[in-house]
Amino acid sequence: MSKYRIHIDKNPPSKARIDAYKDFDSLHKQYQVHSRYEFWRNLYRNPRYFAVLVALISVSVLVYQSSLKTPSTESAFILPPIPPKDIPLLEEGLRPQEAQSFTYENGTQIHVPANAFIDEDNQEVSGKVELRYREFRDAADIFIAGIPMDYDSAGKSYTLESAGMLEILAYSAGKPVYLKEEKTLEVEYFSPYKGVDYNVYHLDTVERNWNFEGEDLLRESLEESKFPDRPALEYILDREADTFLTRNVRIPNQKPGRVFQIALSNAADYTLLSGKQNLIWEYIQMPNFVDPWEDGLLPNAAAIARAKPYRAAGVFLLELKGGGQFVARPLLDAQSFEVALAEYEEKLVAYKKALIEYNAQKELAKKKLVEREAALKAYKDELAAWEAKTKERDSLATSGVYRRFIIKKLGINQLGRKLEYPMMQLKVDLSFQEDSSFGERLADQGRRISLIHPEINTVFSCKKLEGESGKYMIRFDPRSQNLLCVSDKEENLYLLNFRQISTNLRMKFKNRESSFSDHASLKKHLQNWLDKIEPNN
């Protein structure tokens, strides 16, 4: 059987399948997987591969060293409309031998590892490093900074929509320094844009393009910051002091009554006492009656005036001759006074022991009551903190999310996604008032014409059409207002707010502003314009 598989009249691939292979990001990943092992197999099979590898490494080193010394071309690529009003950089000093973190006003945190920087000669930086940082949080910031959002992938042009953009630069002794290849910076950044389909891009100002650097770590970040569960009130029975005693300790019986022996003069008057002249009695403690043992007074025949029944059967009220009454009951079954006295002493010892234990448990109950109150307060405080954090989380859930940048290269980095948005593209003439050469003069000055759409966090570049005087290709949303922005070299800012383009395809700028003292005043002016723009219908 032939080892070849021949397909005759095979159907050509669909346009969708062809377009899928134009995605540079995914194509690059597939290439890495399929080519990784084939190259290394050929490396040891064919010496020519090894020679090519050595040559490539040598050229790469030369190119890398050359790129470090290549003069910056940012002045022609990153083009602020009014350079003196550009967004300022915040400066931080750091010791390169130590890992450090910085927190900024917007809540952004930058984590810098130890020994992360090298100079242009590839030597580790030992002196103090100055970190310079700024953020571009919305389309107005991106426009003011003059950052292009065009992205070319495998020959296909896109516009990147940003979920967060920042610039980090580092200097030592006034000279730029660079991240080591194996080192990265980690940035925690709050973004009002909640999508999960963003990737990390680095702006290459030499190649004039955004480079794909990796996937967004939003999913991992959210997993790591899993929100805690609602705190539960710790239900420990011992902390319920009001029921602790009844559950844990038997409350002592009433204190045992003392025993005594007397002969009553009127004992014959009562059947229960008849014929019993020298009875053994047990004292019963009752409220509102005297205690005959107070002040050393002992009941005896001489002290007792008489006895009479008292309420319950077998209980008598004994009256003292000196005044006063107390309650007692005769121990008719007692063997002897000595035995009754011994039983009393035994009961008294048990009672005292139980009383000591009971009092100790009462103190413990008081302590547990304090513990319970403290636990309840701690719970309320924890619950209040949880509810505040929940409210903050719910607020963030509607206003944005925290994201993490992993910065591999210093410069401008962003979380971006290729914009798939149905916008109209039209070729138009640009003019100012009756000046038909306005658009051509802007091109001669090298000025960039940009369009800001309020519902998309990006800046669209309007392309100058080669060979056509003053004509540009403009991409806009015909359903909503759009803000067209441009400035000239005299720092005049021209703005045009529009929905549709006139039938003659000529756009006339009617506004010119030039009185901005700083970045903040320029942004406020732009924001006032953007706030007036109507949303999509």
How many angstroms from the chain centroid is the CA of residue 494?
41
The pLDDT score that the predictor gives to residue 57 is 67
- Number of Cβ within 10 Å of residue 379's Cβ equals 14
Higher-confidence position of 24 and 312: 312
Is pTM beyond 0.75 here? Answer: no
| Spatial CB neighbours of 186, under 8 Å, sequence gap ≥ 6 | 110, 111, 404, 405, 406, 407
CA distance 390 to 394: 6
The pLDDT score that the predictor gives to residue 327 is 92
**For residue 300, what pLDDT band results from cuts at 50, 70 and 90?**
confident
The pLDDT score that the predictor gives to residue 371 is 79
CA distance 500 to 484: 12
Higher-confidence position of 245 and 222: 245
CA distance 122 to 301: 117
Angle at 154 between CA 152 and CA 156, to 5 degrees: 55
Judge whether residue 266 has pLDDT over 70.
Answer: yes
The pLDDT score that the predictor gives to residue 396 is 54
Across-strand partners of 103? 109
Going from the C-alpha of 511 to that of each of 26, 144, 374, the distances in angstroms are 44, 17, 66
- Number of Cβ within 10 Å of residue 279's Cβ equals 22
Across-strand partners of 112? 100
pLDDT digits (tens, 9 = 90+) for 462-491: 888 888 888 888 888 887 788 888 888 888
| Spatial CB neighbours of 259, under 8 Å, sequence gap ≥ 6 | 280, 281, 282, 283, 331, 337, 340, 341, 344
Rg (alpha carbons) of the chain, rounded to whole number: 47
CA distance 429 to 93: 49
Structure tokens belonging to residue 257: 């009554």
Average pLDDT over residues 370-398: 76
Pure H helices in 267-336? none
**pLDDT more than 70, % of the chain:** 74
Q: CA torsion angle for 203, 209, 214, 217 (degrees, to 10)?
A: 50
The pLDDT score that the predictor gives to residue 38 is 54
Q: Which residue has the tokens 């290729």?
A: 418
Across-strand partners of 43? none
The pLDDT score that the predictor gives to residue 390 is 73
* 89, 131 contact by CB (below 8 A): no
CA atoms within 13 A on the CB side of 165: 28
How many angstroms from the chain centroid is the CA of residue 139?
25
Judge whether residue 268 has pLDDT over 90.
Answer: no
To 10 degrees, what angle do helices 24-45 and 47-69 make?
130
The pLDDT score that the predictor gives to residue 74 is 42
pLDDT digits (tens, 9 = 90+) for 515-532: 787 888 888 888 888 877
The pLDDT score that the predictor gives to residue 168 is 92
How many angstroms from the chain centroid is the CA of residue 444?
49
CA distance 30 to 537: 41
Judge whether residue 389 has pLDDT over 60.
Answer: yes
How high is the mean pLDDT of the chain? Answer: 77
| Spatial CB neighbours of 116, under 8 Å, sequence gap ≥ 6 | 96, 179, 180, 183, 185
Q: Which of 108-122, 223-237, 413-427 has the lowest mean pLDDT?
A: 223-237
The pLDDT score that the predictor gives to residue 75 is 40
Q: Which helix (H) or strand (E) holds 340?
A: helix 337-399
SS3 content of the chain, % helix, strand, coil (to 5): 30, 30, 40
Structure tokens belonging to residue 199: 């990737």
The pLDDT score that the predictor gives to residue 482 is 85
Judge whether residue 380 has pLDDT over 50.
Answer: yes
Judge whether residue 29 has pLDDT over 70.
Answer: no
Phi then psi for residue 94, to 5 deg, are: -140, 155
- Number of Cβ within 10 Å of residue 509's Cβ equals 19
Judge whether residue 259 has pLDDT over 60.
Answer: yes
Strands 424-432 and 506-509, how do they pair? parallel
Across-strand partners of 134? 167
pLDDT digits (tens, 9 = 90+) for 309-348: 998 888 999 888 878 889 999 998 888 889 999 999 999 9
Going from the C-alpha of 286 to that of each of 251, 257, 292, 312, the distances in angstroms are 19, 10, 12, 13
CA distance 299 to 296: 10
CA distance 440 to 445: 9
Judge whether residue 394 has pLDDT over 90.
Answer: no
* 23, 158 contact by CB (below 8 A): no
CA distance 333 to 96: 98
Judge whether residue 103 has pLDDT over 90.
Answer: no
| Spatial CB neighbours of 108, under 8 Å, sequence gap ≥ 6 | 135, 166, 187, 188, 189, 190
